[in-house]
Structure 1
């Protein structure tokens, strides 16, 4: 196969993964403006809401390693399709939960099921991309795939907020399940096998990649997920309740009048949309300059700046700007970070490396709601967001120290770090 033909095939595979992850991301985004507000919707306590929000990430904590092992053992196609289908089934569980006399039980069960599905999807999507991309274009490819997830997410959040406000929460959940199910159909008919030719039974269920690069990148992922999903997304709707009158008046001034759920959906969508745009730019820039670390540090500082903005006097402008900066930082890190992991990991262990990386991220995402919700109630949102601004800076220090120890360079060129 010629080089141009090979690159064309690689692009087709990447775009197929993007299409699938976009629609499952859309389905996930629809429900997010609703879930943090379950205390108002069905009378669940703040502590239980925190458990529901973090249940999928705690599940992935235990499912990520087996998912990564499964990818290296049997390949990517079957786990990818199965994971998308499981996420669609889990989303329909929200419909059962909202109508059940014991909603907390069903919401937790649905989130656990979603965790299993998403562990399979995340382990496979990036491994497929690593398999079909070359080092000099890997950042761009990783960024495009990550953007597929995050572009779907803000679109889903806007639609979820609107549908839940105009129609009902049940209608929003049904819509989310439909999009997630459609994602699995796309994957089944389009996404090929890329990773293994035959099954390797020697790979154990808990065979993690615990090399220095994998652990270093995992710690960075931990900090990002803790601050972004664990703090910002878990507290934004409640923060808006504190400032609801000012936000409602300003929004009404341009002809829009949303309650907290609708407003939080719009703000989270702005953040995620900003992240999706900079996900592509971050990966492409790292390919262009031939190094990942400088690009990663710039976007970590951007995320820090966003949380600092949220501590200023609250207004619609400052909150929108802060959410956009945090999203840009989170997104800009995504492509180069997963590309750096692929650069430093042998291809046959990439599934397990992604499993390890996802474990760290999900520990951060799971701890975030459990800590941030009670913490905000106790000391206030300004203190919470100020402390969250420090997390990306700590992640940058860990990144530089780990990469320097492994490669002997503060900023290794891509060709020097590729194994």
Structure 2
């Protein structure tokens, strides 16, 4: 076997990968549908951005408690319940389309124009307003994304901690890469599901299939994932949303995650369907929704492949830093290509580079965090990483969607190209401050933990 040979992950990690893959459908299915559906449902571009990023804003206050729960009570229960919550949340997308919208209740208001309550005559518009708001599609989409955020906070904190628990310095990058790949591989499946199935069978059908798979994920986890994270008794400690790990490694890795998700999820994924529509680009004769699903799926497939490669590369080198920097540069090149894209081929090449850059950093980045973090704080450190990543992913749609209407796509994508370079600078500064060198060894954290 070569130095880059891959060993089969432990059975527990395979179960984690399967669970996060199935539940990931619900995360991806909404992206190719909602931006285009906004105009049909009367949802503004800003509100669409709020809905798409709502799960990340919720995780801002849920990530730290999720990490603290893991460090206190272990990984099994938070992982299983988190998956179940995400499955239930995915059904919220179905409700958003099935329940009548505000406009469809107008006939009730017209048939019952007034209501007398003693001497007071109440207009139907007055008492119908809260009902209309309660059944409006945007209300249910928003609630579903909020619930998804709560569940995913628990899933992310536990998945990475399980991988760290089952790894040493020689396998940590690979295991983090495959777990991250499992988390994200479901996302492109959801993108394809949302794009193609919605084009062939309707939006409600796409959401229903995604919800069924998401609920199946919790069953897989319940049956196959044991407890892996046993820590000392910390029952006297309180759990607060702001109780995050503020160590230099956690904040450094979190800042890198912030920049990557701002550009990748927040900007690219939130605007791609609009970019395709404006430039009249199509694959296989599909509409912008279906085409965007394929492009985004290709991007995430590229990311997933390079997650495994990047993690394994970092396990075979004395230091993980050069691997991280190399893939940040790849991401920079990808966004430059995206800013200049004018054809299907140009766009496809840009997506491959962006996916490779995003994926190649994921395994080494989480492995570096585990290298430099004591086991008993890994749950909280994962929470910090998720908090900062969710700020980036949450800001992205809210900033990019309104701005593309004002300045266009090319300036936004060009600006995103600078973000990975800034993340690289933050990485070098943080690593040097913590370890005294820009190229710390893979066992630096273990040595520190033992001292």
CA distance in 2, matches of 1:90, 1:142: 26
* Distance change >3 Å, CA 350–CA 216, structure 1 → 2: same
- Which residue does 2:376 correspond to in 1? 348
Contact kept? 2:9, 2:175, Cα under 8 Å: no
1:373-392, aligned counterparts within 5 Å? Answer: 373-392=401-420
CA distance in 2, matches of 1:197, 1:361: 26
CA distance in 2, matches of 1:334, 1:279: 6
Contact kept? 2:22, 2:214, Cα under 8 Å: yes
- For structure 1, the residue ranges without an aligned partner over 5 or more in a row are 1-7
CA distance in 2, matches of 1:313, 1:177: 34
- The Cα shift of 1:15 comes to 1.0
- Which residue does 2:39 correspond to in 1? 40
- The Cα shift of 1:198 comes to 6.3
1:58-97, aligned counterparts within 5 Å? Answer: 58-97=57-96
Q: 1:159 aligns with which of 184, 193, 199?
A: 193
- The Cα shift of 1:120 comes to 0.4
Deviations 1:333-381, CA, capped at 9 Å, x for gaps: 0000011111111101100000111000000011111111111111110
- Which residue does 1:204 correspond to in 2? 238
1:395-406, aligned counterparts within 5 Å? Answer: 395-406=423-434
CA distance in 2, matches of 1:384, 1:357: 25
Contact kept? 1:304, 1:392, Cα under 8 Å: yes
Contact kept? 1:240, 1:264, Cα under 8 Å: yes
CA distance in 2, matches of 1:269, 1:410: 35
- Which residue does 1:235 correspond to in 2? 271
Q: 2:365 aligns with which of 337, 358, 362?
A: 337
- Which residue does 1:193 correspond to in 2? 227
Q: 2:385 aligns with which of 357, 363, 367?
A: 357
* Distance change >3 Å, CA 179–CA 313, structure 1 → 2: closer
- The Cα shift of 1:201 comes to 1.2
Deviations 1:231-253, CA, capped at 9 Å, x for gaps: 00011011111111xx23xx3xx
- Which residue does 2:114 correspond to in 1? none
1:225-374, aligned counterparts within 5 Å? Answer: 225-244=261-280, 247-248=281-282, 251=283, 256-374=284-402
Secondary structure of the residue that 2:365 maps to in structure 1? helix
- Which residue does 1:5 correspond to in 2? none
- Which residue does 1:3 correspond to in 2? none
Contact kept? 1:14, 1:129, Cα under 8 Å: yes
TM-score normalized with structure 2 length: 0.87
CA distance in 2, matches of 1:156, 1:9: 26
Contact kept? 1:73, 1:201, Cα under 8 Å: yes
Q: 1:220 aligns with which of 249, 252, 256?
A: 256
- Which residue does 2:421 correspond to in 1? 393
- The Cα shift of 1:37 comes to 2.1
CA distance in 2, matches of 1:370, 1:406: 34
RMSD: 1.4
Deviations 1:72-114, CA, capped at 9 Å, x for gaps: 1111000000000000000001111112310111110000000
- Choose 26-35 or 299-308, whichever is displaced more: 26-35
Contact kept? 2:370, 2:445, Cα under 8 Å: no
CA distance in 1, matches of 2:37, 2:79: 30
CA distance in 2, matches of 1:209, 1:145: 22
- Which residue does 2:13 correspond to in 1? 14
- Which residue does 2:182 correspond to in 1? 148
- The Cα shift of 1:313 comes to 4.5
- Which residue does 1:4 correspond to in 2? none
CA distance in 2, matches of 1:199, 1:24: 32
Contact kept? 1:34, 1:169, Cα under 8 Å: yes
CA distance in 2, matches of 1:278, 1:378: 34
Secondary structure of the residue that 1:289 maps to in structure 2? coil
Higher helix share: 1
Contact kept? 1:69, 1:203, Cα under 8 Å: no
1:81-120, aligned counterparts within 5 Å? Answer: 81-100=80-99, 101=101, 102-120=136-154
* Distance change >3 Å, CA 129–CA 39, structure 1 → 2: same
- The Cα shift of 1:26 comes to 2.8
Deviations 1:279-302, CA, capped at 9 Å, x for gaps: 000000000113211000011011
- Which residue does 2:131 correspond to in 1? none
CA distance in 2, matches of 1:42, 1:18: 35
CA distance in 1, matches of 2:97, 2:439: 50
Deviations 1:249-281, CA, capped at 9 Å, x for gaps: xx3xxxx21111000000000100000000000
Secondary structure of the residue that 1:135 maps to in structure 2? coil
Contact kept? 1:139, 1:286, Cα under 8 Å: yes
- The Cα shift of 1:40 comes to 3.0
